[in-house]
Amino acid sequence: MTIKERFTAVILDCETHMKSVSNKLIYHIAWVRGDIRSPNKPRRYREFYVREFLPFRFWEHTYPNKDTGRRSFWKNDSRAHSVQQTALAKPHLIKSWNEIVERLNYDLSVADGFGTYNWAFDASAIDITNRKLHHKGIMRNLDIPKFCLMDWYVTKVINRDYFLFIDKLSKEDKTAYLSKSGKNLGHSAEVMARYMMQDPNYKESHLALDDATVEMELLENAMLRTDKFKEWKKDFLNNPRPVSWQSVKARLTAIQKTEKRKKA
């Protein structure tokens, strides 16, 4: 019996404010830690609401008013009531940002890699949140290999087999795999989860722990084959790259995208 190489990863998801001066400040954050090569082993789940950014004023959407030169009120974020209701019903999950970062640093200290589905977004949100309170970013100084799961899925999973799958779908089911604009094939975690589950009706909850749990499954699913794990570890781990929606629209093969990625 061949023993699989162990690899403990932390995969994180965060929910942020938007459409205001509070854009990308995190109010809800969660992560899952576990051995991605052994999906049946226990997982550690962490979930927190950020005390500093729950107050109602952070939920006000604003716009730059050309007449006054200031930002004007537009509307209240539709998520505000349900988020605050949920958070207040679970006060043990409401922690200061400093406490959350301390817990994250501990879990990272016993992991081999740290990633998110959309690394560029989540990493910048963490830095923006930390700068709001402490005037400095923290992601660059984390001493752990980092990765972007979307980088892997766009480059490797959206391939000829994927396009064959899409082309066999009914017109109705195919819409579940389109981008938000409906003009192109999507590559979000929600779309990739639908593909993994073979369920066009799956919808993200947009709750940090739920989404981090699904993204951990996406990571585990991608790493089940030893050859894929070795390739990911060699070329994608500690080398997160931005992805191109044009490459998905053009239906480039995994080989073509891998070559473009190497040259980028």
State how far the alpha carbon of 190 is from the alpha carbons of 87, 129, 195, 201, 215, in Å: 24, 25, 9, 10, 9
Closest among 61, 58, 62, 63 to 97, alpha carbons compared:
58
Alpha-carbon gap, residue 176 to 194, rounded angstroms? 8
Mean of pLDDT over the chain: 95
pLDDT (average), residues 185-192: 97
| pLDDT value of residue 2 | 61
Record the pTM: 0.94
Query: Using one digit for the tens of pLDDT, what is the confidence trace for 240-264?
Result: 999 999 999 999 999 999 999 988 7
State how far the alpha carbon of 41 is from the alpha carbons of 12, 44, 109, 196, 237, in Å: 18, 10, 19, 20, 22
Alpha-carbon gap, residue 215 to 221, rounded angstroms? 10
- Homologous superfamily (CATH) of 8-263 is Ribonuclease H-like superfamily/Ribonuclease H (3.30.420.10)
Q: What are phi and psi of 88, to 5 degrees?
A: -70, -25
Alpha-carbon gap, residue 65 to 93, rounded angstroms? 37
Neighbour tally for 90: CB within 10 Å: 10
pLDDT (average), residues 180-203: 95
Quick check: 118 and 86 in contact, CB under 8 A?
no
| pLDDT value of residue 4 | 81
One-letter identity of residue 136: K
State how far the alpha carbon of 64 is from the alpha carbons of 70, 77, 210, in Å: 6, 17, 34
Domain boundaries, given as residue ranges, for the chain: 8-263
Residues 6+ apart with CB under 8 A from 210: 204
- pLDDT band of residue 220 (cuts 50, 70, 90) is very high
Which H/E stretch holds residue 26? strand 26-35
Neighbour tally for 81: CB within 10 Å: 12
Query: Using one digit for the tens of pLDDT, what is the confidence trace for 137-170?
Result: 999 999 999 999 999 999 999 999 999 999 999 9
User: 26-35 and 8-16 as β-strands: parallel, antiparallel, unpaired?
Assistant: antiparallel
| pLDDT value of residue 140 | 93
- What sections of 3-96 are H helices per DSSP? 80-89
Query: Using one digit for the tens of pLDDT, what is the confidence trace for 84-121?
Result: 999 999 999 999 999 999 999 999 999 999 999 999 99
Which residue bears the tokens 């790259």? 241
Quick check: 7 and 110 in contact, CB under 8 A?
no
Which H/E stretch holds residue 157? none
